[in-house]
Amino acid sequence: MGLRPGGMVLLAQQRVDALSEAEVEKLRDTNREPVARVIAFVEFLNKRADAIRDLTVKPRRPGREDDIHEAMEQFVSIADDLEDNLDEYATRHHDVRKVLPKLLKGLDGWATTLKSPAEDERYEVSRKLALEALRDLREDTTRMIEEQKTWFAAHPPQKDAEGRPVEE
């Protein structure tokens, strides 16, 4: 992390190592498969939500609040990366129509999980950022569903001899 003169950390430099090596590898493997990549991001967000839920319902232990903070920070980072990918797919008209409703469905459960831990100053800012990221994802996903319906109605995807969509 870089420090500005006077010791202030620049927010853009405050990047969380949110993904495990296996998750990074999964993203590499799905780089040219938008639907599979969105599904991978959904899995990563589910995993962080499960971690937060487990920390909240299991007996309290030392460091729990710090672990919740870390999981929420990772959640924000992953949600932001997913949003960046969705923006790219929207711009390039990649067909992700079948995965967007699944993403939309996951948003409510994630919001509930993020709200479940009792208030604590150690993770309140991270919780707020995570909930804002979910709000942004909801807005983008809802808009993208409509945009994709309209785009692909006017520009149906080409299919090969077996009826599979052909990437351009």
Helix (H) or strand (E) holding 132: helix 124-154
Query: Rounded distance, CA 121 to CA 65, Å?
Result: 9
Average pLDDT (135-149) is 96
Spatial neighbors of 168 by CB under 8 A, at least 6 apart, are 158
Nearest to 22 by CA among 39, 40, 48: 40
Q: Per the domain annotation, does 158 fall within a domain?
A: no
Q: Per the domain annotation, does 4 fall within a domain?
A: no
Nearest to 127 by CA among 136, 114, 140, 117: 114
* b/e 48-86 (16+ beta carbons within 10 angstroms → b): bbebbbebeeeeeeeebbebbbbbbbbbbbbbbebbebb
Q: Per the domain annotation, does 28 fall within a domain?
A: yes
DSSP 117: S
Q: Per the domain annotation, does 25 fall within a domain?
A: yes
Categorize the per-residue pLDDT at 168 as very low, low, confident or very high, splitting at 50, 70 and 90: low
Identify the three-state secondary structure at position 165: strand
Q: Per the domain annotation, does 111 fall within a domain?
A: yes
Q: Which residue has the higher pLDDT, 12 or 44?
A: 44
Q: Per the domain annotation, does 10 fall within a domain?
A: no
Q: Per the domain annotation, does 46 fall within a domain?
A: yes
The model carries a pTM of 0.84
Q: Which residue has the higher pLDDT, 36 or 162?
A: 36
Looking at the structure of the chain, the number of domains it has is 1
Domain holding 46, by residue range, is: 19-151
Identify the three-state secondary structure at position 62: coil
Cα-Cα-Cα-Cα dihedral of 40, 137, 140, 83, to 10°?
A: -50
Q: Per the domain annotation, does 12 fall within a domain?
A: no
Q: Which residue has the higher pLDDT, 8 or 33?
A: 33
- Report the pLDDT value the prediction gives residue 15, as an integer from 0 to 100: 43
* Tens-place pLDDT, residues 47-94: 999 999 999 999 889 999 999 999 999 999 999 999 999 999 999 999
Average pLDDT (7-24) is 62
Nearest to 96 by CA among 161, 25, 162, 30: 30
